[in-house]
Structure 1
Amino acid sequence: MKRIQLSHGGGGQEMNQLINRLFFRHLGNDILLRTEDAAVLECNGSVAMTTDSFTVSPLFFAGGNIGKLAVAGTVNDLAMMGAEPQYLSCSFIIEEGLLLDELEQIVKSMAEELTVSGARIVCGDTKVVPKGCADGLFINTTGIGHIRQPGISARNVCPGDAILISRDIGCHGACLLSARESLRLSSPLQSDCATLWPVIHACIEQNIPIHSLRDATRGGISAVLNEWCEASKVQLSLDEEAIPVSDHVRGVCELFGFDPYDLANEGTFVMAVPTDAADAALAVLKAFSGQAAIVGRAEAATPNKVILNSPWGSRRYLDLPGGELLPRIC
């Protein structure tokens, strides 16, 4: 089997072959193939820009791999600002010895995921580091998107807003944990890794007045909702029974002592909309996932915290996760 060598990052013949036969073959477009030092882009109106680095372990997991994750994660950050993803940069830091077949599988999955949003990789970089200096592959991406619905912000949650979740939570974190511990589950558990622009675009097309959006990645919905409380100075009251959690995720959490609200997601978002728009928003979300739900509301109350209401009438704070629950999940 062919493996990545240091010469693949040396700027010579091997590197040229790697870029042309692998990256350009799968990711090529009219901008990228110009091979200039910088991409020249057409941007009209307000744009959103984001950057992210991906160091997930393992590189391949049920439902995706680091390449799919890099594209979806960057595109989703743009979508959460109401921005249509347009352009991405991509840098690969490859460890000497990585199988070329694995690298090609990762790049192919990136090309496939790009078709979901229509975004294009327009510039990039490749570095190869000696064996032991990286864990297989690290990917850095930057994205630019045209804002289609302005005004979406973590600071715009208003008292009376309904809080919605787009699907069941915790799948990515539970999937990664299961893979690392070599668990053989009786039922398949897959990461929710996915591009979210199609559902956000559908909400915008239906004129849903979105106040706030956030994909619940590291720290899960606990982190997102607590950030909203702080940024918007509201209290969020959640119905614990309404929050969608699969039995598979609950089982993994019980086995390892985790809280599903703290687990990472890579294709799940939280939305705040006015109460009178909640049913319309839910209808759009359910067209993409049957697990979407209205899970709570925002209130003008103190302290500015998340309150979790149990089916038995008890209440507790849903605090920010403490410590590093599960490193290297994205």
Structure 2
Amino acid sequence: MTRTLLDRKPGESSEAKPPTQWLDRMRDKHITMAHGSGGKAMRELIERLFVEAFDNPLLAAMEDQAVVPLEGLRQQGTKLAFTTDSYVVNPLFFPGGSIGELAVHGTINDLAVSGATPLFLSCGMILEEGLSIDTLGQVVSRMREAAALAGVSIVTGDTKVVERGAADKLFVNTAGIGIIQRDVAISARRACPGDVVITNGNIGDHGVAILLARNELALESTVESDTQPLHDLVRLMLEVCPDIHCLRDATRGGVATVLNEFAAASQVAIHLVEAAIPVRESVRGACEILGLDPLYLANEGKLVAIVPREQADSIVDAMRTHPAGRDSAIIGEVKETPNGAVLMATAFGGLRVVDTLVGDQLPRIC
């Protein structure tokens, strides 16, 4: 019997087609306004690039929507998770990834932190007139590979073209649908005094990687983005502890912003230990030179969880068996006071308030 997109098990990759000669078959070498006109040029772009790259039965139908049988969804879970995000990162390609992987991983992770298994993504692209077709092809190829490795399918999309100078080469919007397979109740409002704070590894890698990739600073340091899908790691965590209280991926605003959201929503205090927070030495060094705080730097493959204390060690042990969680650590605890605040015991023995920033330390980071 032929397997459908709904038959895959959680974490199982879909089969990606080997690279094809997409670009050789394109007559144009740069995006023109005709590629957004709805005519032959647009159809050629969609059929020869997007449909061929993201090849799957739902997309191949070439309708204005992807039609998903409900029966298959009901067999996988009881609740639907739905999210959307947009990506405007500059530059488009950076050490460890590109806007393509970022768009796929970011939306997958927004689903994952609800406890959902990601299944389907949409892809909307805003293209600037003059964008190289070769550059677009590379981004699409990166998206195809990231989706295949994560076991999700890009099943519908949209393309718009704007005049030269009206955008910055390429913007991507992705929406995602996933299924919550068990009766989880993850919420920012569930942090309780006595709970423990966990993260899955070194923070700040993505923010520093983007900063260095812009070539605006003469720093000799190699830092790669941590962009990666987290749904399989979350699945492992839920197997150990189905009652995870709070869970978020720490993207814009970093770990500090996520924890402030938890503290405010749950009306508790979160106390961190600076020495326990994993930060790569190259990232720490760059932050010291530039006056940045790694707690506020964007991540694209890091989560923050608040879990019951009695299960924290078991969760961390399980996380460390997964490639995305090898450096997992307990970094703090939840207390009653001061209500709604995040505090950190510093390496010098002091106590520092970790507040929410008014703006972002770095623009165009994701």
Q: Shared fold (TM-score greater than 0.5)?
A: yes
| 2:200 equivalent to 1:137 | no
| 2:155 equivalent to 1:128 | no
Instruction: Tell me which of 37, 42, 45 is aligned to 1:18.
Output: 45
Aligned pairs for 1:265-304 (under 5 A) are 265-287=299-321, 288=323, 289-304=325-340
2:15 — aligned with what? none
2:31 — aligned with what? 4
Q: Cα distance, 1:312 vs. partner?
A: 3.0
Q: Cα distance, 1:303 vs. partner?
A: 2.9
Checking the alignment, whether the CA contact within 8 Å between 1:178 and 1:252 is kept in structure 2 is no
Task: Please list the CA deviations of residues 208-267 of structure 1 after superposition, one character each: whole Å capped at 9, or x if unmatched.
Answer: 531111000010011000000000111111110000011111121112211110100010
Q: Which runs of 5 or more structure 1 residues have no equivalent in the other structure?
A: none
Letter of the structure 2 residue corresponding to residue 244 of structure 1: P
Task: Please list the CA deviations of residues 19-65 of structure 1 after superposition, one character each: whole Å capped at 9, or x if unmatched.
Answer: 11110111021101111122112332211111111111111111111
Letter of the structure 2 residue corresponding to residue 215 of structure 1: D
Letter of the structure 2 residue corresponding to residue 122 of structure 1: V
Q: Cα distance, 1:116 vs. partner?
A: 3.0
2:134 — aligned with what? 101
| 2:246 equivalent to 1:212 | yes
1:320 — aligned with what? 356
Letter of the structure 2 residue corresponding to residue 320 of structure 1: T
Q: Cα distance, 1:187 vs. partner?
A: 4.2
2:123 — aligned with what? 90
1:192 — aligned with what? 226
Aligned pairs for 1:22-37 (under 5 A) are 22-37=49-64
| Aligned-partner Cα distance in 1 for 2:192–2:210 | 35
Aligned pairs for 1:167-186 (under 5 A) are 167-183=201-217, 185-186=219-220
Checking the alignment, whether the CA contact within 8 Å between 1:208 and 1:280 is kept in structure 2 is no
Letter of the structure 2 residue corresponding to residue 23 of structure 1: F
**RMSD (CA atoms):** 1.4
Instruction: Tell me which of 258, 265, 287 is aligned to 1:224.
Output: 258
Q: Cα distance, 1:185 vs. partner?
A: 4.8
2:274 — aligned with what? 240
Checking the alignment, whether the CA contact within 8 Å between 1:170 and 1:220 is kept in structure 2 is yes
TM-score of the two chains, using structure 2 as the length reference: 0.87
Checking the alignment, whether the CA contact within 8 Å between 2:85 and 2:174 is kept in structure 1 is yes
Instruction: Tell me which of 77, 80, 90 is aligned to 2:113.
Output: 80
1:255 — aligned with what? 289
| Aligned-partner Cα distance in 2 for 1:269–1:213 | 7
1:38 — aligned with what? 65
Checking the alignment, whether the CA contact within 8 Å between 2:197 and 2:330 is kept in structure 1 is yes
| Aligned-partner Cα distance in 1 for 2:123–2:350 | 48
| Aligned-partner Cα distance in 1 for 2:316–2:148 | 26
Q: Cα distance, 1:324 vs. partner?
A: 3.1
Q: Cα distance, 1:101 vs. partner?
A: 1.1
Mean alpha-carbon deviation: is it higher for 66-75 or for 183-192?
183-192
Q: Cα distance, 1:88 vs. partner?
A: 1.1
Q: Cα distance, 1:192 vs. partner?
A: 0.6
Query: Sequence identity of aligned pairs in percent?
Result: 47
SS of the residue corresponding to residue 154 of structure 1 reads coil
SS of the residue corresponding to residue 320 of structure 2 reads helix
| 2:81 equivalent to 1:48 | yes
2:14 — aligned with what? none
| 2:339 equivalent to 1:308 | no
SS of the residue corresponding to residue 31 of structure 1 reads helix
Letter of the structure 2 residue corresponding to residue 93 of structure 1: I
